[in-house]
């Protein structure tokens, strides 16, 4: 059976709104400009497109409506009969059938006029055919106005129907009006049904859910039923009759023994016997409500006989033994007996569902695949259940009336929260209870880590530290006692500079350490202290008392030699050109000279390529050979003109075919 979610049915527009929606969509999403100078085939295609688009819009929208509304023959019998009670099944089918016919007529109109439009010989003739086609379609849909209005009313009512699952575990509460059905449902579920002291407060089915034995149950509250013939019952009563007829549930027939509902016990018993065929093959319980107003013992013998007759009849119909049959009593006002009624009803329903499954045909297929394993005893030793000694002692103290001493009591006795710290080790279960207070209670063969620590380690460590402090003090005294008079005036000046420089370095280090990482990093070219040139090198070396003349001369000589080599190459090239012009040197000699200079230049450059430690190259010769082999391999890739890792690549982060705007049919943004 297909279960529909009636709340997902879309709104059904009226006939006039339907026409406006489709024609507006056609105007917006089809071309709107046509010229008389176009070829006749193009004009035909223009108007044929409008007719086909309109027909497609009608077809899609009508198909959506027909698919949303459930088919009566495919629904569960409960929903089918409930639909028949509320809306009349014949009217419902007629309305859907008329929409189905209208859809076929619109398709036929479109087909006929498209066929005629293929023979249109002018723009005016094609335009009139298009107007006629759209006009006939709109006329057909305007005639469906009553059907569309009826279906919208049905949709609104169906969206308000409760979500009832016909095949799940269900408790169905029924009886006369104002006997306490809604009050019982509010007590056992999370529902909030309106309860008033007059009849027919509940006018439709209400569903609530509860949990019992880790299972989800649904409880259905039905409107009150009066004892009269079926043809005289109204729509409100027929909803209850439909639920009793089709739902596989445990039925709770509620009696008002106080007769405050306005009906006597004889009338309630008569209703029970009149609707008795609806209780067949269902667990049935008779529940007496309002025992807080009238006690069961205070009833008249005739009323007791009627109640006993109903209880015995309910037991017979449910297949319960007469010994187990009994009248359930409760009071929804004081909640006496409410939970007992709920438990007994749920247990009866579970037992009946299991029995029904055992009597079915599928149980045989399942039984052949089942195997019940019985454990075998591994020895003859008895293992009776044992209660731990501490638990037994706690139970004994509880039975003796002693209050259990909790950790909260200990905390209050020792100063309260924030002062007392709970002892988490007193419940440790160790082989030796003395291990609980160990600093490191990891047990290794009966010992912990502290058992392997030298107990005099702290005294030895203190003696070692004192020895180091004595050595450091002696070294300081020896340094201070250095005889400065033995030094020459130059050495004394140098020592003074070194000590001053040391103080500056220490002070700068402390300032940098105190500032942390909050100082901004100034680029080297803008920081006068970090500029690398011969002046700064000379000043830094002279500050520590070193002669910087040789270092400066070496740096300048390297710079001069680099510039000199460049000038030498330029001079040799100029001399060669001059010789070639003068004719005093042969071209062959010039080529040999230029090749030699190039090889010397390359060799001088390669000689600086020192191998890095750990790279696998022993000396400069192997490093130069590796560079040549790499150049040779790259030369072949260069001839193939392929992209390498050194080639610059600017990725296109927004490719046009993915990020450019796409305009759908009928959009006029370009205008």
Tell me: the pLDDT tens digits for 238-255?
Answer: 888 988 888 889 999 999
Same domain for 72 and 217, yes or no, is: no
Cα–Cα distances in angstroms (integers) from residue 159 to residues 11, 79, 204, 221, in the given order: 11, 13, 13, 18
pLDDT of amino acid 192? 84
**In terms of Cα–Cα distance, which of 475, 543, 478, 477 is closest to 505?**
543
Q: What tokens does 343 get? A: 């438990």
Q: Report the pLDDT averaged over residues 224-238.
A: 87
Same domain for 38 and 175, yes or no, is: no
Is residue 405 a part of any domain in this protein? Answer: no
Euclidean distance between CA atoms 69 and 97, whole angstroms = 12
pLDDT of amino acid 287? 92
Three-state SS for 326-387 is CCEECECCCCECHHHHHHHHHHHHHHHHHHHHHHCCHHHHHHHCCCCCCCCCCCCCCCCCCC
What crossing angle do the helices spanning 40-68 and 15-29 adopt, rounded to 10°?
Answer: 140
566-570 own/partner pairs: CB under 8 Å, 24+ apart? 569/597, 569/601
Strand partners, 329: 288
pLDDT of amino acid 101? 95
pLDDT of amino acid 262? 85
Q: Report the pLDDT averaged over residues 420-436.
A: 82
Tell me: the pLDDT tens digits for 178-224?
Answer: 898 899 999 999 888 888 877 777 878 889 999 998 899 999 999 98
**288, 328 in Cβ contact below 8 A?**
yes
**How far does the chain reach from its first CA to its final CA, in angstroms?**
54
Q: DSSP alpha helices (H): ranges in 583-646?
A: 587-606, 620-639
Is residue 436 a part of any domain in this protein? Answer: no
Is residue 401 a part of any domain in this protein? Answer: no
Residue 556 has pLDDT above 70, yes or no: yes
Residue 569 has pLDDT above 60, yes or no: no
Three-state SS for 110-137 is HHHHHHHHCCCCCHHHHHHHHHHHHHHH
pLDDT-derived band at 561, boundaries 50, 70, 90: low
Same domain for 183 and 77, yes or no, is: no
pLDDT of amino acid 646? 73
Q: Provide the edge-to-edge strand list for the sheet that holds 206-212.
A: 206-212, 215-221, 170-175, 250-256, 284-289, 328-329
Same domain for 198 and 322, yes or no, is: yes
Total residues belonging to the chain = 671
Q: Report the pLDDT averaged over residues 590-618.
A: 59
pLDDT of amino acid 433? 81
pLDDT of amino acid 443? 63
Euclidean distance between CA atoms 250 and 258, whole angstroms = 24
Query: Parallel, antiparallel, or unpaired for β 215-221 and 250-256?
Result: unpaired
Is residue 194 a part of any domain in this protein? Answer: yes
Q: Which of 157, 181, 201 is the last residue of a domain?
A: 157
What 3-state DSSP class applies to 216? strand
Going through 180-305 in order, the beta strands assigned E by DSSP cover 206-212, 215-221, 250-256, 284-289
Residue 671 has pLDDT above 50, yes or no: no
Euclidean distance between CA atoms 337 and 318, whole angstroms = 21
pLDDT of amino acid 371? 84
Same domain for 96 and 243, yes or no, is: no
- Sign, CA dihedral 254-255-259-262, equals positive
Residue with tokens 């497109």: 49
Residue 487 has pLDDT above 90, yes or no: no
Which residues constitute the domain of residue 90? 6-157
CATH number of the CATH domain containing 102: 1.20.120.1190
Residue with tokens 């297949």: 319
Q: Which of 157, 181, 199 is the last residue of a domain?
A: 157
Euclidean distance between CA atoms 172 and 241, whole angstroms = 11
Q: Report the pLDDT averaged over residues 90-117.
A: 94
Q: DSSP alpha helices (H): ranges in 118-261?
A: 123-142, 145-159, 181-188, 235-246
Q: DSSP alpha helices (H): ranges in 383-531?
A: 389-399, 407-413, 457-480, 489-515
Euclidean distance between CA atoms 238 and 85, whole angstroms = 7
**199, 224 in Cβ contact below 8 A?**
yes
State what percent of residues in the chain have pLDDT above 70: 84
Task: Give residue 449's Cα distance to chain centre.
Answer: 47
Same domain for 130 and 178, yes or no, is: no
pLDDT of amino acid 1? 38
Euclidean distance between CA atoms 635 and 82, whole angstroms = 87
State what percent of residues in the chain have pLDDT above 90: 25
**In terms of Cα–Cα distance, which of 139, 114, 112 is closest to 126?**
114
Strand partners, 251: 172, 284
Query: Higher-confidence residue: 138 or 630?
Result: 138
Same domain for 113 and 173, yes or no, is: no
Most trustworthy range by pLDDT among 97-101, 319-323, 366-370, 578-582: 97-101
Residue 158's Cβ-count burial label (10 Å; 0-12, 13-18, 19+) is buried
pLDDT of amino acid 514? 66
Same domain for 211 and 322, yes or no, is: yes
Cα–Cα distances in angstroms (integers) from residue 375 to residues 367, 368, 372, 383, in the given order: 20, 21, 10, 15
pLDDT of amino acid 584? 42
Most trustworthy range by pLDDT among 96-105, 329-338, 644-653: 96-105
Is residue 556 a part of any domain in this protein? Answer: no
**86, 160 in Cβ contact below 8 A?**
no
As a whole number of angstroms, the longest Cα–Cα distance in the chain is: 154
Euclidean distance between CA atoms 642 and 649, whole angstroms = 13
Strand partners, 256: 289
Q: Which of 101, 129, 157 is the last residue of a domain?
A: 157
Lowest mean pLDDT among 33-42, 447-456, 515-524: 515-524
Is residue 191 a part of any domain in this protein? Answer: yes
Q: Report the pLDDT averaged over residues 52-80.
A: 90
Mean pLDDT of the chain: 82
Counting the structural domains of the chain, the total is: 2
Same domain for 214 and 319, yes or no, is: yes
Euclidean distance between CA atoms 438 and 352, whole angstroms = 62
CATH number of the CATH domain containing 185: 3.40.50.300
Tell me: the pLDDT tens digits for 577-595?
Answer: 444 444 444 445 445 455 4
Euclidean distance between CA atoms 222 and 202, whole angstroms = 7
Is residue 138 a part of any domain in this protein? Answer: yes
Same domain for 80 and 58, yes or no, is: yes
Euclidean distance between CA atoms 487 and 323, whole angstroms = 125
Lowest mean pLDDT among 133-142, 262-271, 369-378, 451-460: 451-460
Q: Report the pLDDT averaged over residues 305-323.
A: 85
Which H/E stretch holds residue 267? helix 265-274
Is residue 343 a part of any domain in this protein? Answer: yes
Euclidean distance between CA atoms 43 and 49, whole angstroms = 10
Euclidean distance between CA atoms 78 and 245, whole angstroms = 8
Residues 6+ apart with CB under 8 A from 70: 2, 4, 6, 79
Cα–Cα distances in angstroms (integers) from residue 628 to residues 355, 603, 612, 632, in the given order: 91, 11, 17, 6
Query: Higher-confidence residue: 245 or 616?
Result: 245
Euclidean distance between CA atoms 330 and 184, whole angstroms = 9
Same domain for 172 and 249, yes or no, is: yes
Same domain for 339 and 201, yes or no, is: yes
Cα–Cα distances in angstroms (integers) from residue 639 to residues 502, 607, 625, in the given order: 61, 28, 22
Residue 462 has pLDDT above 80, yes or no: yes
Residue with tokens 């520590």: 544
Residue 77 has pLDDT above 70, yes or no: yes
Q: What is the CA radius of gyration of the chain?
A: 52
Phi/psi of residue 209, each to 5°? Answer: -125, 150
Judged by phi (left if over 0) then psi (alpha if -120 to 50, else beta), residue 605 lies in alpha
Q: Report the pLDDT averaged over residues 298-304.
A: 89
What is the reported pTM?
0.51
Residue 344 has pLDDT above 80, yes or no: yes
pLDDT of amino acid 259? 86
């Amino acid at each position: 059976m297909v279960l529909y979610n009636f709340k997902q049915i879309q709104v059904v527009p009226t006939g006039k709104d339907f026409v406006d929606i489709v024609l507006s969509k056609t105007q917006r999403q089809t071309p709107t400009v046509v010229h008389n100078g176009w070829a006749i085939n193009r004009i035909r295609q223009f108007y044929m497109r409008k007719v086909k688009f309109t027909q497609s819009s009608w077809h899609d929208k009508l198909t959506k409506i027909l698919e949303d509304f459930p088919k009566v023959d495919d629904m569960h019998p409960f929903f089918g009969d409930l639909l028949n009670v509320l809306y009349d099944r014949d009217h419902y089918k007629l309305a859907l059938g008329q929409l189905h016919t209208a859809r076929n007529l619109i398709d036929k109109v479109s087909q006929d006029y498209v066929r005629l439009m293929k023979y249109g010989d002018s723009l005016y003739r094609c335009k009139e055919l298009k107007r006629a086609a759209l006009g006939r379609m709109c006329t057909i849909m305007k005639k469906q106005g009553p059907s569309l209005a009826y279906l919208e009313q049905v949709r609104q009512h169906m969206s308000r129907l409760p979500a009832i699952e016909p095949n799940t575990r269900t408790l169905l509460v029924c009886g006369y009006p104002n006997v306490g059905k809604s009050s019982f449902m509010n007590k056992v579920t999370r529902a909030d049904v309106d309860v008033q002291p007059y009849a027919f407060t509940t006018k439709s089915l209400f569903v609530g859910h509860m949990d019992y034995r880790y299972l989800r149950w649904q409880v259905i509250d039905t409107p009150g039923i009066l004892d009269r013939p079926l043809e005289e019952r109204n729509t409100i009563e027929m909803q209850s009759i439909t639920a009793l007829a089709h739902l596989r549930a445990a039925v709770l027939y509620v009696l008002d023994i106080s007769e405050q509902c306005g009906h006597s016990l004889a009338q309630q018993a008569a209703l029970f016997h009149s609707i008795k065929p609806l209780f067949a093959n269902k667990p049935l319980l008779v529940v007496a409500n309002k025992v807080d107003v009238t006690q069961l013992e205070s009833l008249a013998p005739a009323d007791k006989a009627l109640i006993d007759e109903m209880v015995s009849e309910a037991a017979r119909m449910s297949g319960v033994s007469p010994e187990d049959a009994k009248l359930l009593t409760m009071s929804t006002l004081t909640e006496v007996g409410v939970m007992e009624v709920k438990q007994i009803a749920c247990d009866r329903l579970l037992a009946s569902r299991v029995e029904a499954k055992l009597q079915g045909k599928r149980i045989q297929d399942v039984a052949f695949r089942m195997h019940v394993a019985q454990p075998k005893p591994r020895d003859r030793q008895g293992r009776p259940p044992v209660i731990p000694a501490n638990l037994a002692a706690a139970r004994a103290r509880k039975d003796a009336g002693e209050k259990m001493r909790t950790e909260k009591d200990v905390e209050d006795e020792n100063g309260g929260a924030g002062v007392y710290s709970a002892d988490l080790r007193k419940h440790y279960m160790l082989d030796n209870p003395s291990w609980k207070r160990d600093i490191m209670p990891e047990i290794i063969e009966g010992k912990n880590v502290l058992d392997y620590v030298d107990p005099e380690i702290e005294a030895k460590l203190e003696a070692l530290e004192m020895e180091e402090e004595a050595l450091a003090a002696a070294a300081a005294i020896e340094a201070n006692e250095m005889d400065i008079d033995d030094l020459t005036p130059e050495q004394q000046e140098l020592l003074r500079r070194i000590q001053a420089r040391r103080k500056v370095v220490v002070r700068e280090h402390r300032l940098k350490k105190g500032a942390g990482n909050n100082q901004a990093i100034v680029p080297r070219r803008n920081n006068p202290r970090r500029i690398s040139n011969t002046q700064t090198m000379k000043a830094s070396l002279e500050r520590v008392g070193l002669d910087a003349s040789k270092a400066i001369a070496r740096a300048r000589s390297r710079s001069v030699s680099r510039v000199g080599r460049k000038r030498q190459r330029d001079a040799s090239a100029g001399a060669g050109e001059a010789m070639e012009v003068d004719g005093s040197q042969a071209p062959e000699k010039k080529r040999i000279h230029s090749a030699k200079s190039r090889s010397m230049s390359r060799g001088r450059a390669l000689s600086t390529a020192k191998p890095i430690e750990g790279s696998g190259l022993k000396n400069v010769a192997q490093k130069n050979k590796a560079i040549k082999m790499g150049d040779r391999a790259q030369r072949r890739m260069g001839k193939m003109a392929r992209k390498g890792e050194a080639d610059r690549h600017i990725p296109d982060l927004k490719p046009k075919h993915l990020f450019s705007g796409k305009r759908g049919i009928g959009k006029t943004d370009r205008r």
